[in-house]
Structure 1
């Protein structure tokens, strides 16, 4: 007993010493002190937990995981240790294990702030924003001034299109943490969504002043600016930042910001250099072979006969509207036109269809979509009703349509038609060269868009998306309105009216004044849709023609008509003309 008391007292002394050293910035010394204690043969969950925290602060996530695991092994029912272990699991890439461990922590203590905020943040990073809010809003009641919880709550609210609440949350974060660069950057992001360019620029500039290594703040600032020669100072500052010892993801953001700056200035080669650097640094993956298998599976399951046998399934609701197509094809513009109507709301780029299908339409050992031939009408109805329940959070009493503009929902049109036989589907299609280049120049948040960082993969994905759409047009019992982006910007009035009419709505003049709407826009096109219709993005690829060989090869026949059309109009002696003749020959 005396030995245990002495050991406990010594343990407390080591903890105090290590924490004191860490506060002074002597983290390595603090780690050494804790390791010496463990090497003496003593076991201590508290020392392991402290080592986990110290290693996390040193960005040594693998060592942190090891020590948090030991803490949990010694005290398996300690809710705090479980929550910290879950965070370490997530940082080391063990997402499912982290999810389960957070939930285990909350089973023991449902008011554990670390677990609630951590689980909410994890769900946000996997784009499950509606679910994330359930945990984050509990967290900020428990700890109302904590920066981490408030900022992730703002992220979730903004991604659920609840922009006023997101703004309030970010402002509260700044009030409680006035020196925070992260709070300034979050406010800048939300003001960008709301179309307030001046406030966005002010907050982002302040964020950069407080933390010059905040890469994403540079990228956001670049997106709200139109660079001129007067902004050379900012370009030079970003170029200087790239010489610093920054982590790769920060440099990646700065390269994209510089690409935007040089593009604005018409310095195409410099712009492409930085966009390529940023894309080459991105940690992404894309498996075209897997997507081809998915396409083959889709064609095998979703036939005309499949839909004919299930024509009585689903719910009789006209509320859902789905705007689909390649990212950067005009989906945001279409969504904004529609949501400017008094009877329309939008859930933005929501992953609800994908998640509900995978979670609620499985059957035994069969996963979605292989399970669909086996699921019952009741299962389909329940999934549809859950989707309607989730999107109701943005709908008012007068709302007649709710738009989901997740572009890659074209993968899920089969299940959409099954759940909502009266849904409206609007397909945006754009010149493949402009479309793919625009994707390449955009640093996407989503992990699902790994194909966007490589020109060859971009071309392959574009062709694959066409194959999906060709199949859906042949078999789907739900009508699809196809809108060409070039037609929309060149003949806006007629095309916009066609879109509104297709949705079963009467025209409102507000739809033509979409750029003046007070509603937020939470996508890569947030600033573009705040401008009246413009056509400068049509044919933009020609500025970069000499860099697009891999894309043109991958697009093959899809690129040829656009190359030939421009080649016929380009002077034979011009630089663009000679490049185009070479590329047309390569594409034949």
Structure 2
């Protein structure tokens, strides 16, 4: 116990004797917030409660309130508990119930106040800390929610729901190791926790452990067969692994259980070639007509029905659904291109002088050699990674967020402080964190590919922090890229520019401008590869690619489509097929509808 804590306890006792019970209670609470198991503070609070002559509320009345709540009579339960609070103003259970009532009727700020009152009265009240975390999570206050869950777990580590919710927050924040840890605790404490097994599967997929993820999904289904989410996620895992028939069956099971499961309907639509009499079409049309449909479901159904009409050759309907789906997705993400314009300018300021490259003497040589495959989405990055990853010395890691996660806090610091000079220690931090992340794949191959396309924004950081890295930049017809982007729904939220033709052309301009900047700053360090050349001269272009990557020839690279490695991107279906030509001409079929985009891209 610290000196500060001893002083707080002594002061609490002193003022309690003088009759200032409210101030004494606050001091004991401060101690318990930092040391939840401090017995002296607990005893002090108990003495104050007894001194005030407070009795517990009658059990029968509490049971009556709980019964009202359980029966869905929330307003009645709230009125009843508020009456009890007037008679028992220091009972934490009543405030916990009050918070649950406010939460149920959507008055989240009032719920927060009630839960905060409960934990003020009883700082070691794990359930109220948890409930406060849930409410703050619903309000989008994730940092504070995390602290509440952590307090609940500090009091009661055997709390599966708190572990599961923390895991979900860390998963959304791309802190995958932390998410994995909490999901594993959740299922360890509660082996029949179907939702946590499903969530564990999601994070395992993100970590590239697809086979283990499938087992987690199957456990979830075994526990709760009518739970649609793991069926859908199992379909995604099978699709990544190229097991397309199994993926279709999983998606079908998901929509059979829950026909209004729009995400599963969308995933299934990507796997099918539609005919006019397909019964799924009328189901999706009926769902879309519902007035109670949430925004995310409406977006998924619009993109799915756009795919239907593309298959049926109905151009007007295709673009009607496509424009609407894109419009809604941009609204959902609240995107403005201004932010991307500012970031581009800042990158140029940050690297405006002669680039700083860390000296070999400053870091230990790594046995891992990263290959970054960059460019616009839908430019062929998945295909090129599939080719390189078919080499016996290469592991294809897919689209990794690790580089962005390492750079973002450093970038934010410079933006906040308005400084334009990178420090060596910052580059060394980026290097170490990224290489540590690659080492956790625990694979025998020493060459590892990262095909996050938007890493083109970070080329300055890459070549400064990883002098030994290879960068392969995919180039493709601008109209082909932008058409392919516009008709796709991306799960990633950083692609907000993709959902409006004007934004799309504007972002393409930012991309080409920044790539010109990097080429000028780092001459001969970036390998440009033309997608169209690759599809027409496969072997010649593959040989040049491997030579740049300092890899010996491997015949497997020509037979990339036979690889069993997992592919998570929208191109998962295409890279399971032999190389084909002509995909860069598909946009021409829709030329009449794409005139604003074509005109905007005319200079590229």
> Does TM-score exceed 0.5, indicating one fold?
yes
SS at match of 2:551: coil
CA contact (8 A) 2:355 2:521 kept: no
* The one of 421, 432, 445 aligned to 1:373: 421
Q: Partners in 2 of 1:199 and 1:358 — Cα distance?
A: 38
* The one of 344, 358, 372 aligned to 1:295: 344
* The one of 437, 455, 458 aligned to 1:412: 458
1:284 and 2:330 matched: no
Could you report, residue by residue, the CA deviation over 1:468-495 in whole angstroms, capped at 9, with x for unpaired residues?
A: 1111111126721111222222322222
CA contact (8 A) 1:106 1:112 kept: yes
Look up the match of 2:401: 351
CA contact (8 A) 1:120 1:135 kept: yes
Change (3 A) 1:66 1:513: farther
CA contact (8 A) 2:371 2:449 kept: yes
Change (3 A) 1:48 1:486: farther
In the TM superposition, what is the alpha-carbon distance from 1:331 to its structure 2 partner?
Answer: 1.2
In the TM superposition, what is the alpha-carbon distance from 1:351 to its structure 2 partner?
Answer: 1.2
Look up the match of 1:155: 202
Q: Partners in 1 of 2:120 and 2:482 — Cα distance?
A: 50
Could you report, residue by residue, the CA deviation over 1:500-526 in whole angstroms, capped at 9, with x for unpaired residues?
A: 222211222222222222111112222
Change (3 A) 1:187 1:64: farther
CA contact (8 A) 2:357 2:464 kept: no
* The one of 350, 368, 378 aligned to 1:328: 378
**After superposition, where does 1:560-571 map in structure 2 within 5 Å?**
none
1:228 and 2:278 matched: no
* Structure 2 residue ranges without an equivalent (≥5): 1-49
Look up the match of 1:564: none
In the TM superposition, what is the alpha-carbon distance from 1:19 to its structure 2 partner?
Answer: 4.8
In the TM superposition, what is the alpha-carbon distance from 1:28 to its structure 2 partner?
Answer: 5.4
Change (3 A) 1:5 1:447: same
Look up the match of 1:437: 483
CA contact (8 A) 1:323 1:425 kept: yes
In the TM superposition, what is the alpha-carbon distance from 1:369 to its structure 2 partner?
Answer: 10
Could you report, residue by residue, the CA deviation over 1:153-182 in whole angstroms, capped at 9, with x for unpaired residues?
A: 111111111100111110111011111111
CA contact (8 A) 2:262 2:297 kept: yes
Q: Partners in 2 of 1:512 and 1:49 — Cα distance?
A: 63
* The one of 523, 542, 551 aligned to 1:505: 551
Change (3 A) 1:347 1:49: farther
Could you report, residue by residue, the CA deviation over 1:177-231 in whole angstroms, capped at 9, with x for unpaired residues?
A: 111111211111211111111111111111111111111001110112222345x
TM-score, normalised relative to structure 2: 0.83
Q: Partners in 1 of 2:523 and 2:544 — Cα distance?
A: 20
CA contact (8 A) 2:561 2:576 kept: yes
Look up the match of 1:578: none
* The one of 135, 140, 148 aligned to 2:187: 140
Deviates more, 1:7-16 or 1:205-214: 7-16
* The one of 446, 452, 455 aligned to 2:492: 446
Q: Partners in 2 of 1:460 and 1:152 — Cα distance?
A: 37
In the TM superposition, what is the alpha-carbon distance from 1:534 to its structure 2 partner?
Answer: 2.6
Look up the match of 1:263: 310
CA contact (8 A) 1:314 1:420 kept: no
SS at match of 1:557: coil
Q: Partners in 2 of 1:74 and 1:531 — Cα distance?
A: 64
1:131 and 2:168 matched: no
Q: Partners in 1 of 2:286 and 2:517 — Cα distance?
A: 50
- Asked which structure has the greater CA Rg, the reply is 2
Q: Partners in 2 of 1:453 and 1:480 — Cα distance?
A: 29
In the TM superposition, what is the alpha-carbon distance from 1:251 to its structure 2 partner?
Answer: 1.6
CA contact (8 A) 2:357 2:465 kept: no
Change (3 A) 1:67 1:200: farther
**After superposition, where does 1:63-74 map in structure 2 within 5 Å?**
64-74=111-121
TM-score, normalised relative to structure 1: 0.86
Change (3 A) 1:194 1:48: farther
Change (3 A) 1:535 1:305: same
**After superposition, where does 1:33-48 map in structure 2 within 5 Å?**
33-34=80-81, 37-38=84-85, 42=89, 44-48=91-95
In the TM superposition, what is the alpha-carbon distance from 1:101 to its structure 2 partner?
Answer: 3.3
Look up the match of 1:196: 243
Look up the match of 2:223: 176
1:12 and 2:58 matched: no
Q: Tell me how many residue pairs correspond in the alignment.
A: 550
**After superposition, where does 1:1-150 map in structure 2 within 5 Å?**
4-5=54-55, 7-10=57-60, 12-22=62-72, 26=73, 30-31=77-78, 33-34=80-81, 37-38=84-85, 42=89, 44-53=91-100, 64-150=111-197
SS at match of 1:127: coil
**After superposition, where does 1:486-497 map in structure 2 within 5 Å?**
486-497=532-543
SS at match of 2:474: strand
Could you report, residue by residue, the CA deviation over 1:343-401 in whole angstroms, capped at 9, with x for unpaired residues?
A: 21233211111111234x479x6469966735234x5334322211211222422x121
Q: Partners in 2 of 1:327 and 1:48 — Cα distance?
A: 50
Look up the match of 2:365: 316
In the TM superposition, what is the alpha-carbon distance from 1:323 to its structure 2 partner?
Answer: 0.9
Look up the match of 2:391: 341
